[in-house]
Amino acid sequence: MQSDTPVVKDIVLVGGGHAHVSVLRMFGMKPLPGVRLTMITRDIHTPYSGMLPGFVAGLYDCDDVHIDLGPLARFAGARLYHGEVDGLDLEQRLVHVPGRPPVHYDLLSINTGSRPRTIDVPGALEHALPVKPIDRWLQDWEALQGRVLASRGEFRLLVVGGGAGGVELALSTQHRLQSLLRERGGDPARLHYELLTDGAEILPTHNAGVRKRFTRVLRERGIEVRLNSKVVAVQARGVEVERDGFRPADAVLWVTYAAAPQWPGQSGLAVDEDGFIRVDRELRSVSHPQVFAAGDVASLPDARPKSGVFAVRQGPVLTQNLRRAAEGRPLKSYRPQKNFLGLISTGDAYAVASRGNWSWEGRLLWTWKDWIDRRFMQRFSELPEMAQAQGPELGAVADSAAIQELSTLAMRCGGCGAKVGSTVLSRVINRLPPQRREDVLIGLDAPDDAAAFEVPQGKVMVQSVDYFRAFIDDPYTFGRIAANHALGDIFAMGAEAQSALAIATVPYGREQIVEQTLSDVLSGALDTLAPTGAVLAGGHSSEGAELAFGLTVNGLIDKAALLRKGGMQPGDVLILTKPIGTGTLFAADMRGKAKGRWVDAAIRSMLVSSQQAAVCLYRYGATACTDVTGFGLLGHLVEMTRASGTDAELDLAAVPLLDGAAETVAAGILSSLQPQNLRLRRAVRNQEAVANHPLYPLLYDPQTAGGLLASVPAASAAACLEALQDVGYVHAVVIGRVVDRGESAEPILVNL
Ligand SMILES: Cc1cc2nc3c(=O)[nH]c(=O)nc-3n(C[C@H](O)[C@H](O)[C@H](O)COP(=O)(O)OP(=O)(O)OC[C@H]3O[C@@H](n4cnc5c(N)ncnc54)[C@H](O)[C@@H]3O)c2cc1C
């Protein structure tokens, strides 16, 4: 979470490129009070280009070559939004990310890299395997290895692109594929490689010595190089080469010139003829002084090759300039290095060095490169101790208007005076989509002292309330999760969601920021409510120390159809619809100890609604149901056994877990609620026998927006599970069974 200092300026970083990882690290070491950082990135684990060929060659694993932006953003006190930016509103200073409200910035920095150009070659997008975006490449590469291993006879690979990337990729993929074939007793000689470039030579940005060395290496490795071979079309079985005709291929790897994303130019930023953002020597957009850009996506006055080396070097200057711009101080110039040392690998733990007119090669150079790269990566994985939270001095970040606005905060009232101001509230509510339903007689569209609902004849209203502190620094996603969490109770009862009243506490701050936060959290809640058919009918908001949000949710159901915790029948099986582990994962995240992808997957799981699950469970005759939340899986099961007058057996190994939960529990990281939940161990008959099992603590892990736990007649369990899987609950599984109430006082038996 960010510090307690009120937010005065928002710096938004788009893309987790090589320069922005430095910005995060340096802001983490030395925060700037009053500045809030937000990173928006399409990849939570961002690849380090220097090590990619080594990964492809099988010399590194995936985590070795990726910087985990989760802990890094946490270290920097930055909000991390997972999404792909597709446009800017430069007038309103908004960043557009599909699937969430626009993100406001005072200063914006773009470091989104480039991709191999596929747009101008017909068929390249459909049939070639571009090396970026990285997540697609990783899938393509995995699939390609499978195809090669499954194939019989000759397999022809064409690598298109004669720069360092193309040469490295040809050599490293060849090394890996040949090794795999050899390991499986196959014949590596059935792989045929060709490298095609439209240039008159390979490695045009390097010296003649480097070119000579690589020409030799490629020849020795049996990779045929075709110069002056411009690929003009790609087809399913090969490529069309200008003036040379068709060349057959089983796979085409695409590592051509860098292409710019279209959205910066389309948004109105000044771009060069290829679409890269034009910046001055201070890395600031030549058209929009609030916007900075670095790395491949930037076009500098003094053009340099698109290479990660430059993006890395720009990081410290960019950090300084973002700080300086926030404080209104003069900016620093970035001076690109004239010559730089390039260490280009040959895929087999051997490398060629290139600097100016000098070149060299050898195994030692690879060892050196490996050492440099690992040391670079360590800077982002082994982070220094967190900087102490700064006091509320805002220094030069706040201008006089901001200081005047903030000086009134210290004297903010409690009680009703702590409400969010009526103008802010009405502006936010006016922006929300209309909230209408026939049976909501008085709601947000015609506000009164209270909301009024109609309960149709024969139906009853079920009601539940939930409210909690934000555990992620993203008000929109938090609003979505909080609403989903609250609705879980309604669905567990088998009811249809009808309406909700919201209660929000928003951190003190400048009016614009309070308004944005409230708007984001409510938009999130509405985006969860809307697909369920429920409307927001009213609410209450106040200012406080930290963001907290909750909802009172109302549902409707035929009285006879109510599904309750009691009702389990001996012989039923227990079905759980979602994996568990959110408590330990977010406790680890707060300490910067959870991998970004674990947290990301946990958030995605918390966003899965239980609405369809409830329909399935009901259809297959569920006898009792509850949603798994704060008391943990075991706590909720105990409640069900008590209400049903039965016992239950739980198969620990069958319980689905979120990725990383076993690791964080093994590291001893547990939710602060865990000790209270643990009191329920008295309900476990064989506590002594199971207590030391490494996964046992997870049974007490409190869940946010957890799945449904239901008892279903054994005869319909298989069909019920199939139906659940069909509608997307891929982790739904039988985790135990209901048995007759026995003599023992403890209702639960845990099977290992
Ligand atoms: C095979 C290969 C090997 C290479 N080897 C080297 C090498 O050894 N040394 C070297 O210096 N260079 C190398 N390069 C070049 C290098 O990859 C690039 O120059 C470098 O990655 C550019 O860095 P960057 O910081 O600009 O962006 P990137 O490293 O590409 O990072 C961009 C980030 O932005 C995110 N992003 C992208 N679009 C969006 C969006 N719309 N919204 C939000 N986030 C977005 C991505 O998820 C990613 O996190 C190699 C390239 C290839 C293809």
Q: Comparing C-alpha atoms, which of 639, 663, 633, 644 is closest to residue 733?
A: 633
136 Cα to the center of ligand 1, angstroms:
14
Q: How confident is the model at residue 422 (pLDDT cuts 50, 70, 90)?
A: low
Is a pLDDT exceeding 60 seen at residue 388? no
Is a pLDDT exceeding 70 seen at residue 400? no
**Which amino acid is located at 155 in the chain?**
F
Q: Worst-scoring range by mean pLDDT, 194-208, 428-442, 466-480?
A: 428-442
Q: Cis omega before residue 133 (within 30°)?
A: yes
Catalytic residue among 413, 416, 625, 720: 416
Q: How confident is the model at residue 267 (pLDDT cuts 50, 70, 90)?
A: very high
Q: Worst-scoring range by mean pLDDT, 404-413, 616-625, 684-693?
A: 404-413
Long-range CB contacts (< 8 A, 24+ apart) of 351-358? 352/210, 352/213, 352/214, 352/217, 354/206, 354/207, 354/209, 354/210, 356/207, 357/207, 357/208, 357/209, 358/207, 358/209
Q: Rounded CA gap, 551 and 463, in Å? A: 10
**Among the atoms of ligand 1, which is closest to the Cα of residue 131?**
53
Active site residue 416: yes
**Among the atoms of ligand 1, which is closest to the Cα of residue 295?**
26
Q: Which helix (H) or strand (E) holds 259?
A: strand 258-259
Average pLDDT, integer, range 593-606:
96
CA dist 331 to 280, 292, 315, 325, 677, Å?
A: 11, 12, 14, 7, 54
Is a pLDDT exceeding 80 seen at residue 414? no
Average pLDDT, integer, range 507-515:
86
Q: How confident is the model at residue 752 (pLDDT cuts 50, 70, 90)?
A: very high
668 Cα to the center of ligand 1, angstroms:
36
pLDDT digit string (tens) for 77-130? 999 999 999 999 999 999 999 999 999 999 999 999 998 887 789 999 999 999
576 Cα to the center of ligand 1, angstroms:
41
**Which amino acid is located at 130 in the chain?**
P
Is a pLDDT exceeding 80 seen at residue 403? no
Count the Cβ atoms, other than its own, within 10 Å of residue 683: 20
3-state secondary structure of 703: coil
For residues 662 and 695, the answer to whether their CB atoms sit within 8 Å is yes
Q: Rounded CA gap, 51 and 156, in Å? A: 25
Name the residue with higher pLDDT: 119 or 53. Answer: 53
Mutate to test the pocket of ligand 1, among 41, 49, 105, 304 (most ligand atoms within 8 A of CB): 49
Tokens of 678: 């643990």
Is a pLDDT exceeding 80 seen at residue 410? no
**Among the atoms of ligand 1, which is closest to the Cα of residue 112?**
34
Give the pLDDT of residue 542.
85
pLDDT above 90 coverage of the chain, percent = 80
Q: Rounded CA gap, 589 and 595, in Å? A: 8
For residues 103 and 12, the answer to whether their CB atoms sit within 8 Å is yes
Long-range CB contacts (< 8 A, 24+ apart) of 378-381? 379/25, 380/21, 380/25, 380/67, 380/68, 380/72, 381/67, 381/68, 381/71
166 Cα to the center of ligand 1, angstroms:
14
Average pLDDT, integer, range 563-591:
96
Mutate to test the pocket of ligand 1, among 112, 254, 300 (most ligand atoms within 8 A of CB): 112
Is a pLDDT exceeding 80 seen at residue 424? no
Is a pLDDT exceeding 50 seen at residue 2? no
Return mean pLDDT, the chain.
Answer: 92
pLDDT digit string (tens) for 115-165? 888 778 999 999 999 988 887 898 999 999 999 999 999 999 999 999 999
49 Cα to the center of ligand 1, angstroms:
6
Ligand 1 pocket by Cβ (under 6 Å): 14-19, 40-43, 46, 49-50, 52-53, 84-85, 111-113, 131, 165, 168-169, 255, 261, 295-297, 306-309, 311
Is a pLDDT exceeding 60 seen at residue 3? no
pLDDT digit string (tens) for 448-504? 789 899 999 989 999 999 999 999 999 999 999 999 999 999 999 999 999 999 999
CA dist 689 to 517, 632, 750, Å?
A: 48, 20, 9
Protein residue with its CA nearest to atom 20 in ligand 1: 308
Give the pLDDT of residue 545.
85
Average pLDDT, integer, range 350-359:
94
Q: Rounded CA gap, 491 and 462, in Å? A: 10
